[in-house]
Chains A and B, each alone.
Chain A
Amino acid sequence: MEDDKFYELVDLYRNPEHYGKPSKYNYSENGYSPSCGDKFSVYLDIEKGIVKDASFDGKGCVISTVSMSKLCSFLIGKPLKEIEKMELKDIEKLLGIEDISISRVKCATVGLDAVKKVYKEVKDS
């Protein structure tokens, strides 16, 4: 990753979009990346399978925080089902970087894993 790109991500990390626990949501899940110590909660307001609102709170590194934030932006207004086929490379696309190193994969996918858990819950119910 180029220094400029990292600097840009640090800016997003300091003031992430969709940060904070909302007053209205009907699904919530936790995400962990134990080596980093990342701990997040994601809150989704889902109506007829569509993500009306998405937000998150918790603490983590630049990669996990920004990927959480970007994932929330991406999901709002879309069918939750979209998450089913999403994988690491989709998160990389949202972040605008292509070279997530092996030790940071869990950071990048912490939000993805949490939203997938919500999807499973919604599907099973």
Chain B
Amino acid sequence: MDNMDIEKIRKDFPILSKKINGNTLIYLDNAATSQKPSAVIDGIKYFYENINANPIRSIHGLAEEATKAYNDARQKVAAFINADPEEVVFVRNATEAINLVSFAFPFKEGDRVSTTYLEHHSNLLPWLRLKEKGINVDIVSISDDYELDMDYYKQLPKNTRLVAVTHASNVTGTINDVKEITRVSHEQGSLVLIDAAQSIPHMPFDVKDIGADFIAFSGHKMLAPFGIGVLYIKKEIAENLKPFLTGGEMIKDVSLSKVIYENIPNLFEAGTQNIEGAYGMGLAIDYLNDIGMENIEKYENELTSYLYEKSKELKNVDIYSGKSKRFNGIFSFNVVGLHSHDTAYLLDKKGIAVRSGFHCAQPLIEDRLKLDGAARASLYFYNTKEEIDTFINELNDIAGKYGRR
């Protein structure tokens, strides 16, 4: 916290001073998408006024600038997660990244893939669809404290080719020990995919330390524009993958009888890419690096502890998150007797933005937690203790007025 001047940081995010229903916005929907600093917003304008051209293909000077901007962005992303630039594939978002792997991975009939009860639909549905091709899909169970069944990973079912798991849950906040899951899965010959959409924006992340083969994340949850995301593919395994989309700029040589594909990352970047988005993501990473991911993680942990401490004041509110050994700034709850949408509506009247419903994790919420939805507050480093105070007070008012056992 010593290294972070929150007042100064908040001035970098113009939207944080917006009024919602007459109150200053308290934005607690960061797990859905983050807000953007001026550096990113202005950078997009700068891109179109100074750099815009179709990179890689054209050879004129402006296109070279665009190519350089695109390559620089890739290098920034690579450095941010300690990868090599050729291991960074730009995609639309984590969902597309995981779908890409589900198509590109050379599965054979009878192979197994595992995912878990904690997943967002993005790391569930691409795998469930593989059942149509005769691939078996295992769903790893969770304890009542929302911890994954680690015994499952110690003895993977025979023919498990890929273990897919989220780093951090967008509902329970659970942070999984993905390094250990990767280690034991590799020992048994399975590759590992990590959905890092809810972790990379909030903590230092080192792909070499974790060791996983595929890592998916979205730019828009870490200050970048919508429509840009990343799939990290470990170099050693890339040559075994099939292309996902085919078309422009992903080939070395084409005739009507034979096509020779490009190497990664270009192999997986068919068609003109979201150059503006990649450029914006580079600027977002610059911004995060200026603050420092260690500082961000430390401050968010403080905020999270504060939120859970303050939540003890709540009456007629059930809380579902924050029970695991490690968890991030996710706070899932319901006012007793009130649907989450109605709670979110009432908070919004006070200018407080939270998510409600299934959070794209319907099997977890409906089958496992036995709920018909939950409201969720989720933090980022520009949130403050004062905002948490207001949130808890307003929530307590709503629960006092409408909450019923």
Query: Which A residues are within 8 Å of any B CB, using their own CB?
Result: 6-7, 10, 14, 34-37, 39, 59-63, 104, 107
Among B348-405, those with CB < 8 Å from A are 356-358, 362, 365-366, 372-373, 401-402, 404
How far, in whole Å, are A33 and B381 apart by their CA atoms in the complex? 33
How far, in whole Å, are A63 and B340 apart by their CA atoms in the complex? 12
B341:A61 contact, CB within 8 angstroms: yes
Q: Size band of the B side of the interface?
A: 10 to 19
Q: For the complex, is B347 an interface residue (Cβ under 8 Å from A)?
A: no
Q: For the complex, is B337 an interface residue (Cβ under 8 Å from A)?
A: yes
What total count of A-B pairs have CB within 8 Å?
40
Q: For the complex, is B346 an interface residue (Cβ under 8 Å from A)?
A: yes
Which A residues are in CB contact (< 8 Å) with B337? Answer: 14
Q: A6-B346, A60-B372 are in contact. List 13 more A-B contacts (CB 8 A).
A: A10-B342, A34-B358, A35-B357, A35-B358, A36-B357, A37-B357, A37-B373, A59-B372, A61-B341, A62-B339, A62-B341, A62-B342, A63-B341
Q: Which of A7, A14, A60 contacts B401 (CB 8 A)?
A: A7
How far, in whole Å, are A122 and B372 apart by their CA atoms in the complex? 31
Which B residues are in CB contact (< 8 Å) with A61? Answer: 339-342
Q: For the complex, is B81 an interface residue (Cβ under 8 Å from A)?
A: no
Q: Which of A10, A35, A37, A62 contacts B366 (CB 8 A)?
A: A37
Q: In this complex, which of A36, A37, A60 has the most chain B Cβ atoms within 10 angstroms of its Cβ?
A: A37
Which B residues are in CB contact (< 8 Å) with A59? Answer: 372
Query: Which B residues are within 8 Å of any A CB, using their own CB?
Result: 337-342, 345-346, 356-358, 362, 365-366, 372-373, 401-402, 404
A14:B404 contact, CB within 8 angstroms: yes
The smallest beta-carbon distance between B170 and chain A, in angstroms, is: 15
Which B residues are in CB contact (< 8 Å) with A107? Answer: 341
How far, in whole Å, are A61 and B357 apart by their CA atoms in the complex? 10
Which B residues are in CB contact (< 8 Å) with A104? Answer: 341, 345
A37:B342 contact, CB within 8 angstroms: no
The smallest beta-carbon distance between B113 and chain A, in angstroms, is: 25
Q: Given A6-B346, A7-B401, A14-B404, check contact A37 B362 (CB 8 Å).
A: yes
Q: Which A-chain residue is minimally distant from B358 (CB atoms)?
A: A37
10 closest Cβ contacts across the A-B interface? Answer: A61-B339, A61-B341, A37-B373, A59-B372, A62-B342, A37-B358, A36-B341, A61-B342, A37-B357, A35-B357
The smallest beta-carbon distance between A20 and chain B, in angstroms, is: 17
How far, in whole Å, are A37 and B375 apart by their CA atoms in the complex? 12
Q: Which of B346, B372, B401, B402 contacts A37 (CB 8 A)?
A: B372
Which B residues are in CB contact (< 8 Å) with A7? Answer: 401-402
Which B residues are in CB contact (< 8 Å) with A6? Answer: 346
Which A residues are in CB contact (< 8 Å) with B341? Answer: 36, 61-63, 104, 107
How far, in whole Å, are A59 and B358 apart by their CA atoms in the complex? 13
A36:B346 contact, CB within 8 angstroms: no
B346:A60 contact, CB within 8 angstroms: no
How far, in whole Å, are A14 and B404 apart by their CA atoms in the complex? 10
Which A residues are in CB contact (< 8 Å) with B345? Answer: 104
How far, in whole Å, are A16 and B366 apart by their CA atoms in the complex? 23
Which A residues are in CB contact (< 8 Å) with B372? Answer: 37, 39, 59-60
Which A residues are in CB contact (< 8 Å) with B346? Answer: 6
Q: In this complex, which of A6, A7, A36, A59 has the most chain B Cβ atoms within 10 angstroms of its Cβ?
A: A36
A10:B362 contact, CB within 8 angstroms: no
Q: Given A37-B362, A61-B339, check contact A10 B402 (CB 8 Å).
A: yes
Q: Which A-chain residue is minimally distant from B339 (CB atoms)?
A: A61
How far, in whole Å, are A60 and B358 apart by their CA atoms in the complex? 12
Which A residues are in CB contact (< 8 Å) with B338? Answer: 10, 62
Q: In this complex, which of B345, B356, B402 has the most chain A Cβ atoms within 10 angstroms of its Cβ?
A: B345
Q: Which A-chain residue is minimally distant from B359 (CB atoms)?
A: A37
How far, in whole Å, are A60 and B373 apart by their CA atoms in the complex? 9
Which A residues are in CB contact (< 8 Å) with B366? Answer: 37
Q: Given A6-B346, A59-B372, check contact A36 B339 (CB 8 Å).
A: yes
How far, in whole Å, are A7 and B404 apart by their CA atoms in the complex? 13
Which B residues are in CB contact (< 8 Å) with A63? Answer: 341-342
Q: Which B-chain residue is minimally distant from A9 (CB atoms)?
A: B342
Which A residues are in CB contact (< 8 Å) with B340? Answer: 61
Which A residues are in CB contact (< 8 Å) with B358? Answer: 34-35, 37
